[in-house]
Structure 1
Amino acid sequence: MDHPMLAVEDPATGQRITNVPDAGPDDVDKAVRAAARAWPAWRTTDRHAALASCAVVVDEAAAVLAPVLTEEQGKPLREAKAEFARAAARFRHFARLRLEPQVVGDGRVEVHRRPLGPVAAITPWNFPVQLAVAKLAPAFAAGNTVVLKPSPRTPLTTLHLGRMLTEVLPPGVLTVLTGQDPLGERLVAHPGIKKVDFTGSVPTGKHVAAAAAPGLKRLALELGGNDPAIVLPDTDPADIAERLFWSAFANCGQNRMAVKRVYAVGPAYDGIVEALAAFAETVVVGDGRAPGTQLGPVNNKPRYDRVIELTEEARAAGARIVTGGRLDGPGYFFAPAILAEAHDGMRVVREEQAGPVLPIVRCSTVDEAVELANATTSGLCGSVWGADEERAAEVAMRLECGTVRVNEHMARTLDEPFAGSQWSGLGGSWGVDEDTEPFVVHRRRG
């Protein structure tokens, strides 16, 4: 009997690229059993050389797989190559990590970090390689084995990369399973899984948490973000327009930690609307494989339709589309849209768009902007922009989110936790803490 297959689509054409396996219950059981068998030896192995080899594999894979990533995800080829570079850097970072016991109290107590066991890692379609490795690298460094399930919209690159990584890892340490729902739920609920590491939407994250609850599995959930950016009255719009634009529209706006709504205070409003719109009109939208493309298509039709719906709904409610909108022709192309006169009563402001549309809300005071920015169940990232950086930093400290930045938005180092508050997630990852549990050893005095 032939294995069921899942079609993969090219968002630049709307046409099928190829098919991948649509894994079922037997595939899940086989993968988790392999991960469980591999774990006892893997947890006691010196894993540093293996992680360094993984970094080399990712680096070398970029030449072959970056075009595949562009084809299935839509992002420009240079961004696909950059995603591989960031992923390789993460493997190198964790290859250097040493898990030393911590001595506490009067010197008789040691706190060790022990691995958890087989991990279910579930990744979304916006950064298939980068987010996969963000889960794999700390899990491997901690001594865990992993069953990785990529999004059914972007499974190709992950599947190919997984096969290459298994050549430098012991059997069973990594298995990649492709397929559509209910594959993720079956994996999460499997009794052999000890931790679930999920990145995706809030509704799906709640479903994942419910599926994991009967087994009291460890959870790391990186969920949606409706990130605010506050532009202070002293801001020079021309000075920040390009940085603020790419903070919102990189990867066609399909980034959990991108700016999703702008609150411009007082005299900054008109200038920032004009500057962002002027810059947006210079950006080249097209097939990610074409030289010169800066923004590719929206990844999939449901997301594309949602962006159109939110934009048109806002326009009908009084927002002004200064520039941008859907483009004619095949594929899911949408020029970056700047929406003026938006307000918090609109869904395009209240809800995460995760697409190439940016609403700008006029505020009279900084206090009003902070209040509106915090009036959400999301709490991933936020930023404040202003000429006086000390003043901007003071305002940033008032934002209720996991990470705040001043005069930038998406900058991040490998040493910092990826924290989300409220509905933006559980278990902000800091090193391998989320992939281990403490093991305390007391030594008797004397």
Structure 2
Amino acid sequence: MLAVEDPATGQRITAVPDCGPAEVDKAVRAAAEAWPAWHASDRHAALASCAVVVEEAASVLAPVLSEEQGKPLHEAEAEFAGAASRFRYFAGLRPGPQADGDGPVAAITSWNFPVQSAVAKLAPAFAAGNTVVLKPSPRTPLTTLHLGRMLAQVLPPGVLTVLTGQDPLGERLLAHPGIRKVDFTGSADTGKRMAAASAPEWRRLTLELGGNDPAIVLPGTDPAAIAERLFWSAFANCGQIGVAVERVYAVGSVHDGVVEALAAVAERVVVGGGRTPGTQLGPVNNRPRYDLVIGLTDEARADGARIVTGGPLGGPGYFFAPAILAEAHDGMRVVTEEQFGPVLPVVRCSTVDEAVGLANATAPGVCGSVWGADEEYAAEVAARLGSGTVRVNEHLAMSVDGPFAGSRWSASRAGLRG
């Protein structure tokens, strides 16, 4: 069995099945047998039913999601609402023949948004006519397992199977000859292994990998006017978002004001257990990530960065007050690597050209943003960023029908077709 941990206490909640080769083979065979009838059916009613299931499940499962992932309850509820909207959106689509799937899909999801990540894979796969074997992260399997059982009640047998377990479950699923396509969300290193393992079978692969999103604050910007939006673009879900702002490049004299304004927001934030009323920021999800964030912050301080506010809070659980780092520079790992946690370095730049160059200097390239009073000029600067998606005066503004794609190491490959 696989233990599930509460990051607010560091204690075991329960355990779920730790599936092995036999369970993988059974699930893929069931998906393959269910595919012909599912592919030939009118699937839109089934997707609409899935949306209802997700909506109704929120009252029961949002607290479970909050407990195993750590996010505040209101964010867990919002995750279910967004997932239901995604099912409803795809229920209304009429894909053309080029989007039809031709077999079982292996969907492997991340621990930061277990429900959203799962439904982002299930909804388009179902709409295209694929059946799915879904493997959630071993750090957050519980909510997905419960939701999968609920969804299975409105889907034909074999269309959806949820397999829980630790590594190498994902690799076993990827290697199964009955899988026609793999849809993976996770780190760049794991994505590289997935790509290498899929090459011998020429299996289609869609990857949503890590990011290290830059935000550029232009001269003349009023820090107070953008601080709240910029802060939550970095720290929502405790900074554990692949498309969050992870480094700020403040140009010229605006640097000190940006640091002060962000620190002022950080010091007002209520950090606590996800199910505690009033909590705005929950714990880091797991011990390895918590230790990494502490290590990156300590390393940056030793290299000259100034921790204006924030840091580990001690006690049971993985609580870390949102940290703002001033006088960070590009040689620090906290700047050049994805922290995926509640710490934000602010880098002082002399010119806009310098900021753009530094923003484009890292391998990941999911999203980027430019912040400034002159939106026309900000848009011109934004056009120079090498990220897959770039915005002006906002960052976390994704929608179910909006385009989303990364570049470089964050790039997504392949399409819906299995």
| TM band (smaller chain) | over 0.9
SS in 2 for 1:359: strand
Whether the 8 Å CA contact 2:99–2:416 is kept in 1: the answer is no
Alignment partner, residue 79 of structure 1:
75
**Contact 2:370–2:382 (Cα < 8 Å) also in 1:** yes
2:417 to 436, 440, 445: 436
Q: Distance in 2 between matches of 1:387 and 1:365?
A: 17
* Aligned residue among 211, 222, 227 for 1:225: 211
Determine the structure 2 residue equivalent to 1:162.
148
1:273-288 correspondence runs (5 A): 273-288=259-274
Whether 1:24 and 2:37 are equivalent positions in the alignment is no
Q: Which residue in 1 is equivalent to 2:43?
A: 47
Residue of structure 2 aligned with 1:242, choices 217, 228, 236: 228
1:267-323 CA-partner distances (Å, limit 9, x unpaired): 210100000001100000000111000000000000000000000000000000000
Mapped pair 1:322 → 2:318: no
Provide the residue aligned with 1:90 in structure 2: 86
8 A Cα contact 1:227 1:261, kept in partner: yes
SS of 2:387 mapped into structure 1 = coil
| Contiguous gaps of at least 5 residues in structure 2 | none
In structure 2, what residue type is equivalent to 1:148? L
Question: Residue 384 in 1 paired to residue 370 in 2?
Answer: yes
Q: Percent identity?
A: 80
Of 331, 334, 340, 1:354 maps to 340
Secondary structure of residue in 1 paired with 2:364: coil
1:104 aligns with none
Partners of 1:201 and 1:114 lie apart in 2 by 28
How many angstroms does 1:415 deviate by?
1.6
Matches within 5 A, 1:166-245: 166-245=152-231
Could you state the TM-score of these two structures normalised by the residue count of structure 1? Answer: 0.93
Are 1:310 and 2:296 an aligned pair?
yes
Post-superposition shift, 1:122? 0.3
Superposed, which structure 2 residues align to 1:348-427 within 5 Å? 348-427=334-413
Structure 2 Cα separation of the partners of residues 306 and 315 of structure 1 = 14
Q: What is the Cα deviation at residue 234 of structure 1?
A: 1.6
Q: Is the 8 A contact 1:116 1:195 kept in 2?
A: no
Q: Runs (4+) of structure 1 moved beyond 4 Å? A: none
Which structure has the larger Rg over C-alpha atoms? 1
Tell me the CA shift for residue 211 of structure 1. 1.4
Corresponding residue SS for 2:365: coil
Deviation at 1:214, TM superposition (A): 1.3
Aligned length: 418
**1-side partners of 2:319 and 2:205: how far apart?**
36
C-alpha separation between the residues in 2 aligned to 1:197 and 1:113? 15
Secondary structure class of the residue paired with 1:424: coil
Cα deviation per residue 1:145-202 (whole Å; 9 max; x = unaligned)? 0000000000000000000000000000000000000000000011000000000000
Equivalent position SS for 2:206: strand
Secondary structure class of the residue paired with 2:255: helix
Measured on the aligned residues, the alpha-carbon RMSD in Å equals 0.9
Maintained 8 Å contact 1:116/1:435: no
Partners of 2:292 and 2:63 in 1: CA distance? 27
User: What corresponds to 1:146 in structure 2?
Assistant: 132
Q: Deviations over 1:9-55 (max 9, x none)?
A: 00000000000000000000000000000000100100000000000
Where structure 1 has 5 or more consecutive residues not aligned to the other structure, the ranges are: 102-111, 429-433, 438-446
Instruction: Name the SS of the counterpart of 2:8 in structure 1.
Output: coil
2:247 — aligned with what?
261
Deviations 1:121-151 (A, max 9, x none): 0001000000100000000000000000000
